[in-house]
Amino acid sequence: MAIAKSKFSLFGDRALCDLLKVGSLDSRGLARALTGNIQGAIDDFQEYVKSPHRAERYKSKRQQWIEALKKGENPFTDEVLEDLKNE
């Protein structure tokens, strides 16, 4: 009995791990920002932006967040948080 290949089998094991790690960094960065760990959030979003596994539109959004956080601004408006639910 053959086991069906998942869509993730197109990635190598390392690439899949990297892809999952980047998604986790994005989530953790948001959680850190919302709980006041600004430097931790910046660090996580910077790693996200470096990833070759994410679309440029997402990377540019995270780069804007990094710049806002560095200025002491909160980029996470209710609208931004609502939009994130659809990513």
- Read off the pLDDT band of 13 (50, 70, 90): low
- Which residue, 54, 32, 52, is CA-closest to 41? 32
Residue 21 is predicted with a pLDDT of: 65
Higher pLDDT residue, 23 or 40? 40
In this model, does residue 43 exceed pLDDT 90?
yes
Q: What pLDDT is attached to residue 22?
A: 67
CB 52 within 8 A of CB 66: no
Q: Where are the domains of the chain?
A: 12-84
Q: What is the pTM of this model?
A: 0.76
